[in-house]
Amino acid sequence: MKIRIPFAIASIALFFWSCDEPTPYENNSFIYNPFSIVEDTLHNVTAIESGESDIEWNSHFRAWVGETQYYKSGFTFEFVFSDTSLDIAGVDSIQLNLNHVITYPEAGEDTLGSSTSSFGFYETMDQSIDIVNSAYGIFLGNDSMSISNGSENWTYTLPVGVIAEGDTIVSLGIFPTETNYLSSVYGGGSVSRPTLKFFYHEQDTAGLDSATNIPFQADTLFMYFAEKPSAFDRGQFNYISQLKRDSVILTLNLNDFDVAGDTLQHIISSKIFPAIDDFASALYKPDSVYRFSMIVEEPVSGLSATIEYAGGAYNSNQVNGLIQPAIDEHRDELNLILKATNAGYNPGFIAISKDLTESSLYVKSSLAVRP
């Protein structure tokens, strides 16, 4: 095959030109910067504060009665009925019904040592209740209730004369007579709240004796709840409890996140590690609180996240949605408020060390220079 000379010269010239460096593309408005990943663990907690507040128990879903080394509690409930629709003089017996939910032993690692527990029943109309000093009102009697299973029906027959003809209101109470247990029943916020049943015996159509009853549900229910003196080591720990609306505020110094100029920071993941002491805490496995669920709130943005602690490890712990706004706004300080998510449903609690160097915030983020 013949190759024309002009074509061959052009081909050789093209080969040598292609070996030269290409002309660089210059554009001073563009900066090439690949994403870089950084990981920071901040131990610069500047303050840990504790907030303590009683739950508003009047309409709460559960009511508590019992006494352990940590808590002492009982409750009163009021019934309102009309004497025009209720023949109290003809009543054969009056029975109080309580729907038991679950009983917790002395400590989280313990098991129930008995299948029954004794409680005291009281008439509390116009009585001054002092749960700490065991002043509960007019004593009606003790009765033993089954605590072996979670769901149980407790019944107590009132002594004769507690409710007399013409009464339209009665206030009753149940308080602990034994230690080492804390029991919950359905409270004022439940359709299964305490019930009074007025029983009547009469003959049926066959001439046999039969019993009928007229039920009245409790109109109001009020908790009396006390933290046992010296039960918690307040000198070394702050506590988040299921039975109180406790909270712990961790204040973090964000100055270590020093992102200057046009650098952008995106929080990939972030975890909060309050210094939880398992020996000073009590987590109860019944009732699903072997995972202690906490809500973490950031008050400036109003955002929140839920984390779960299982004793020695976290099942979930992700608060990047709370950290990102603080970084974007170049804040120097960040407050994170921790509190239990299901306060009042379980006597478990966690203890957070007051040592500022033990708690930390872990952040994994990507950095890039703004084009």
**What are the tens digits of pLDDT across the range 318-327?**
999 999 999 8
pLDDT digits (tens, 9 = 90+) for 42-68: 787 899 999 887 776 777 888 999 999
The better pLDDT of the pair 21, 313 is held by 313
Percent of the chain, pLDDT > 90? 47
pLDDT digits (tens, 9 = 90+) for 251-308: 998 887 767 667 788 889 999 999 999 999 988 865 445 678 999 999 999 999 999 9
Q: What mean pLDDT comes out for the span 151-171? A: 91
Interatomic CA distance for residues 245 and 344, integer angstroms: 8
pLDDT at 242: 87
Q: Largest Cα–Cα distance in the chain?
A: 132
Confidence of residue 17 (pLDDT cuts 50, 70, 90): very low
pLDDT at 94: 93
Spell 169-179 as b/e; 16+ CB within 10 A means b.
Answer: ebbbbbbbbee
Confidence of residue 174 (pLDDT cuts 50, 70, 90): very high
Residue spans of alpha helices (H) in the chain: 5-18, 320-328
Q: What mean pLDDT comes out for the span 363-369? A: 84
pLDDT at 54: 74
Q: What mean pLDDT comes out for the span 89-100? A: 91
- In the numeric block, which tokens belong to residue 321? 């949605």
CA atoms within 13 A on the CB side of 316: 13
Q: What is the mean pLDDT of the chain?
A: 84
Beta bridge partners of 201: 211
Q: What mean pLDDT comes out for the span 11-26? A: 48
Confidence of residue 230 (pLDDT cuts 50, 70, 90): confident
Beta bridge partners of 97: 155, 195
Q: Is the torsion defined by CA of 272, 246, 98, 133 positive or negative?
A: positive
How far is CA 297 from each of CA 152, 188, 217, 309, 327, rounded to the nearest angstrom?
37, 28, 38, 16, 16
Say if CB 283 and CB 348 are below 8 A apart: yes
pLDDT digits (tens, 9 = 90+) for 111-133: 777 789 999 999 999 999 999 99
| Res 9 pLDDT > 70 | no
pLDDT at 303: 95
- In the numeric block, which tokens belong to residue 94? 């009056």
Confidence of residue 28 (pLDDT cuts 50, 70, 90): low
Ordered DSSP codes for 267-326: EEEEEEE--EEEEEEE--SGGGTTSEEEEEEETTTTEEEEEEE-SSSEEE---HHHHHHH
Stretch among 8-22, 177-191, 246-260 having the lowest mean pLDDT: 8-22
| Res 249 pLDDT > 50 | yes
Interatomic CA distance for residues 271 and 269, integer angstroms: 7
pLDDT at 207: 60
| Res 10 pLDDT > 70 | no
pLDDT at 328: 86
pLDDT at 149: 77
Domains, the chain: 36-53+245-369 (2.60.120), 62-227 (no CATH)
pLDDT at 8: 53
pLDDT at 302: 94
Interatomic CA distance for residues 132 and 226, integer angstroms: 7
Interatomic CA distance for residues 305 and 317, integer angstroms: 9
| Res 29 pLDDT > 60 | no
pLDDT at 206: 62
Q: What's the gap between Cα 52 and its chain centre?
A: 14
**Burial degree of 330 (CB within 10 A; 0-12, 13-18, 19+):** exposed
The residue to which tokens 């907030």 are assigned: 51
Q: What mean pLDDT comes out for the span 173-187? A: 93
